[in-house]
Structure 1
C-alpha cells in the first residue's frame, strides 16, 4: 500500500469509495470550479463509473500507479496523475487536480505535487518529468515553479477559454535538477 504523508496531505492508492467520490467531483458536482482551471479548453466526455474505476488501476511502471488520491483530514480532495509522453526517453507528463476549493491557496497543491514528483523520481529511472497548462492557470504555474520546474515552451495564443486566447505552457524538471534540489 502506498501512503505518502506530508504535513498537510496524504497521497495514497485510491479505494473504490475514493474513486466514487472523485467521480462525483469530476462529473456530477454542480459548480465544477476545478474545470475552470484544469484544461477547460479540452472537451471531456463523461465515462461510466465502471470505466472510471478501471482507469484507477493503471500503472505507468510495475508497482508505480498512474494516479494517487489526495486526502486532507481523511477527506478526498483531489488527485495527482501521470502518463507517458515518451518511454524511449523516460519522460512522464504529470498533473494535479484539487476539486475541493476549500483546499485551494493553502499550500495543499504545492505539497501534493512536490510529494508526487519526489515519489516518481525516487521509485523510477525517469529522466524528466513535465507538466502542461495554460497561461490563465496562474496557481498551477506557481506550483510547478515552486517545486523547481522550468518553463520550457510557450505556445502563444494556443488555448481558448471563455472566448479569450491564452498561451499553452510546458514546464519540466530533469532528474539531475531534482537530485540537486534534494541536497
Structure 2
C-alpha cells in the first residue's frame, strides 16, 4: 500500500511540474507579442468567390463544347465503320485491310485528341485556381498586417470560435472586388 502512495505522490508531483509555467530564460521571452487570432472559412470563400463561380461556368462550357466535338467524331467514326463493313464484300482482302488500318489510325487520333482535351481543361482550371489562390494569399496577408493578426486559422480546424474572430466576409469582399473573373483563355487556343 505504501508503494502505491509513493507512486501516486510521484505522479502528482510530475503533473504539477508540467502544469506550472516555466520561468522565462531571458528577457526576449518575457516580451512576447500578444496572440491575436482570426478565423477564415476557406470553404465558404471557395464556394462563393465570384472568380471561382466564373471559372466553374467557363469550365462547364468548355467541357460541353468538347463533349459535343467528341460525340461528332465518334458518330463519324461509327459511320465509317458501318460503311467499311458494307464494303467488305466489294473490296479485296488487301484493300479491306488497308481501309481498316486507316480507320484504326483515325480512331487512335480521336482518342489522343480526347485525352489532350482533358489535359488542356485540367491545365486551364489549375491556372485559374492558381490565380485565385495567389490573390487570396495577398488579401489574407494584407488583412493580417492591417489587424496585427498573429494567427489565422481555417474555420474547419477550429472546434469553437466567436463570430467576432471571423475575417471571411472581408476576405470574400476584397477577393470579389479585386478578382471578379479569372483570365482564362479557351483551352487549346494558345
Q: What TM-score, normalized to structure 2?
A: 0.19
Larger strand share, 1 or 2: 1
Q: Which has the larger radius of gyration?
A: 2
Larger helix share, 1 or 2: 2
Which of the pair has the greater relative contact order for Cα pairs under 8 Å at 6+ separation?
Answer: 2
